[in-house]
Structure 1
Amino acid sequence: MLPIRRSLRSRGIEVDPGCPFCGIDEESSHHILMLCPAVQAAWFASSMSVRVAVSSLHDLMIAVLESDDDIMITQLQTWLYVLWEARNAAVFHAKPLDIGNLLQRVGALVGVPVSVQQPLGRPVAALPSVWKRPRQGATKINVDATMQEGGAAFFALVARNFRGEVLAATTSDLVPCLSPKLAETQALQWAMIMASELGFRTVCFETDCLQLYNGWKNLDHGVSYFSTVLANYRTLVWHFNSVSIYFVRRTGNKVADNLARHASSFPGSVWIEEVPPELVSLVLADVLASIPPIV
């Protein structure tokens, strides 16, 4: 059992029961590692970009361990360790919680420069070239945009569950866009809004735009118009219980890419539990390629 202040008081030890970070609520393991507002901000600033909203720390750990995702498991373990370090520094040395220092510490432990913010140092070239299923209980939403002549673009998303089954697919109307990079950025905002309206609450967004992914992960380091636009989208994550954003190679984003490129044939459309007939073979190929190996 962690020597948190609630536990110490239950043993008759006189200590200040308040959280050493916020100083408002009583310190419990759930509060100090998850519920404290400062800690929630740290989780969201992490390379997972996760908003935590589960009933207990135990539930979070079980969900991540059952995902069988080595990256997520390592991220969770490292962040819990670093948060406990920060808690002890606050208790014994009166050091306030500094999210920037936390990011640096996590980066040092896992060997990833903070300025890169790739998921635990896995280089882009090593990422799978096929679509991967999300963990059970989560919805993976692949997003893409296609520029048209005259400075406009179509957006598309495809939402699938851990079995590879299509939950929904949608296309946007023609949207004015200044550049391909901003088109991908606007597509992410649109996808977040659509995902919320479709009722998805535990989501993983995937984009094949590396500039968008790096921009999202490094918002604190950017002052451009692009970073300002992305920062405004951060407010949308509160529509979800848990949200993460990852980069995927285009070969792993084929269904959304094709849907975006053909969106001019059916703009502003929504398909529930299906995709247009011409994309069925691509969905099936993703399902077959993502079948877990038999050990």
Structure 2
Amino acid sequence: MSDRLVWPRDRNGCYSVKSGYHWLHSVNAVRHSNIPSSSTTVDSDCWKLMWKTNVPPKIKTFLWRALRNAIATFGNLFRRKCARTPLCPLCNCYHETAEHMLLLCPWVETVWFGSPLSLRIDKGSISTLDVWLCNTFSNIGTEQNDGDGIKSLVCFLCWHIWKERCKAVMEQCSPSPQDTIQRASNAANEFLSFKERRQGNRSPRPQILVHNLAWSPPLSPLVKLNVDAAWDPISKSVGIGMVVRDHDGQFLAGKSLLAQADSALMAECLACLEGCRFASDRGDQWVSFESDCLEAVKSINGDISRGKWEIYPILSNIRDFLVAFRSCSWTWIRRTANEAADHLAELAKLRMCNEVWADTPPSSLTFILNKDGLPCPPTNV
């Protein structure tokens, strides 16, 4: 595609006076001090979203303190001469602010991605906690049938990340992402179920932890094509995996290939593009595409000109492919329902060339296909 001018400080690549002002203000703030100020102005919309979220008062109070930068992080303790260093006690690399503690610390990334939300934390796009919280609520809440439950889970995760961090600091041990995910999910499910029983709702609510965990076959005559990408931030290499199955769950085809990408989001979008190309090459006309990257799916289904400018050429190519299908759709699924494509993506990183499987999957994929509870053909050993 022909080049175009972009403003990298805005999501859609277009310059505005507002984005220019905020960029200039942030540059001046960095020049004057490397330590974040505790004086922050939180958007009123963020306060409304937080106070209306269906969580216990103690979690609302904690989030209120975190948004006002009024919690005992090492950055705040150092500023008050109560700590010897402002560095995070768990990673010892960056100043411990509320944003670092809840979103940016390496062990916390595992919590968000391993949770039922499957959130990928984009460090470059995080400015303040309130902006991230508003964006997360708007992105996830509108995509789920249980939007209130998802918002509650986000708040419970923040609360249990804080508790696990304090435990690790006080007991001088390593934090456990898996235990944090389990405790937060169980607490959210228990609290929401109790609230519904008090309101007279006799029917049991779906558990957040087990919602849409398994792959499901499409309706006839559709075929379902799952895509996933495995990105290495050091080498910038990408393993892409694709699996095609029909309405009976029968394995029709699979493919793995290597590519290059500058970010995890770009890698996921490349996987979506290769999935469209694979379906087109196979001659499929009725296709249901699935990916576990929420931002990629939202970008494909929405206005691509308002998405991130780095992935605009990829999204444009995807749109060109979609018009060739008689019927197609893009749907976000949880990572646990996309294990087959994820396995082929990891497999691509171990091999030197692209591979295509027709009718017969690789032997290492058999367990995952059987785990989905669907028929599996003889394997190609």
TM-score range, shorter chain: 0.5 to 0.7
Q: Shift in Å at residue 222 of structure 1?
A: 1.4
1:70-109 pair list within 5 angstroms: none
Q: How many residues align?
A: 176
Alpha-carbon distance in 1 for matches of 2:295, 2:307? 15
Alpha-carbon distance in 1 for matches of 2:328, 2:316? 15
**Larger RCO (CA under 8 A, 6+ residues apart):** 1
Larger radius of gyration: 2
Q: Shift in Å at residue 167 of structure 1?
A: 0.3
Query: What letter matches 2:341 in structure 1?
Result: A
* Cα separation, partners in 2 of 1:280 and 1:116, compared to 1, 3 Å: closer
- Give the alignment's TM-score, normalised by structure 2: 0.43
* Cα separation, partners in 2 of 1:118 and 1:239, compared to 1, 3 Å: farther
Alpha-carbon distance in 2 for matches of 1:137, 1:191? 18
* Cα separation, partners in 2 of 1:127 and 1:226, compared to 1, 3 Å: farther
Contact map agreement 1:117 1:217 (CA 8 A) in 2 = no
Contact map agreement 2:250 2:374 (CA 8 A) in 1 = no
Alpha-carbon distance in 1 for matches of 2:284, 2:146? 28
- Give the alignment's TM-score, normalised by structure 1: 0.54
Where does residue 278 of structure 1 map in the other structure? 364
Contact map agreement 1:115 1:218 (CA 8 A) in 2 = no
* Cα separation, partners in 2 of 1:227 and 1:194, compared to 1, 3 Å: same
1:200-211 pair list within 5 angstroms: 200-211=284-295
Contact map agreement 2:304 2:312 (CA 8 A) in 1 = no
* Cα separation, partners in 2 of 1:223 and 1:166, compared to 1, 3 Å: closer
Q: Shift in Å at residue 217 of structure 1?
A: 2.7
* 1:190 maps to 2:281: no
Q: Shift in Å at residue 119 of structure 1?
A: 5.7
Q: Shift in Å at residue 221 of structure 1?
A: 6.8
* Cα separation, partners in 2 of 1:152 and 1:241, compared to 1, 3 Å: same
Where does residue 156 of structure 1 map in the other structure? 241
Any gaps of 5 or more consecutive residues in structure 1?
1-112, 290-295
Where does residue 38 of structure 1 map in the other structure? none
Q: Shift in Å at residue 224 of structure 1?
A: 2.8
Contact map agreement 1:139 1:162 (CA 8 A) in 2 = yes
Residue 163 of structure 1: SS of its match in structure 2? Answer: coil
Alpha-carbon distance in 2 for matches of 1:210, 1:185? 11
Residue 283 of structure 1: SS of its match in structure 2? Answer: helix
* Cα separation, partners in 2 of 1:233 and 1:280, compared to 1, 3 Å: same
Where does residue 197 of structure 2 map in the other structure? none
Q: Shift in Å at residue 259 of structure 1?
A: 1.0
Kindly provide the CA deviation profile for residues 154-194 of structure 1, in whole angstroms up to 9, marking residues without a partner as x. 1110000011110000011x211010110000110011001
Query: What letter matches 2:274 in structure 1?
Result: W
* 1:254 maps to 2:367: no
Alpha-carbon distance in 2 for matches of 1:163, 1:243? 18
Q: Shift in Å at residue 262 of structure 1?
A: 1.4
Residue 287 of structure 1: SS of its match in structure 2? Answer: coil
Alpha-carbon distance in 2 for matches of 1:195, 1:116? 28
Alpha-carbon distance in 2 for matches of 1:285, 1:200? 26
Alpha-carbon distance in 1 for matches of 2:334, 2:292? 5
Query: What letter matches 1:256 in structure 2?
Result: A
Alpha-carbon distance in 2 for matches of 1:176, 1:119? 29
Q: Which moved more, 1:231-240 or 1:245-254?
A: 231-240
Query: What letter matches 2:245 in structure 1?
Result: R
> Which of 321, 329, 348 in structure 2 is aligned with 1:236?
321
Contact map agreement 1:116 1:214 (CA 8 A) in 2 = no
Where does residue 228 of structure 2 map in the other structure? 144
Contact map agreement 1:117 1:218 (CA 8 A) in 2 = no
Where does residue 222 of structure 1 map in the other structure? 306
Where does residue 181 of structure 1 map in the other structure? 265
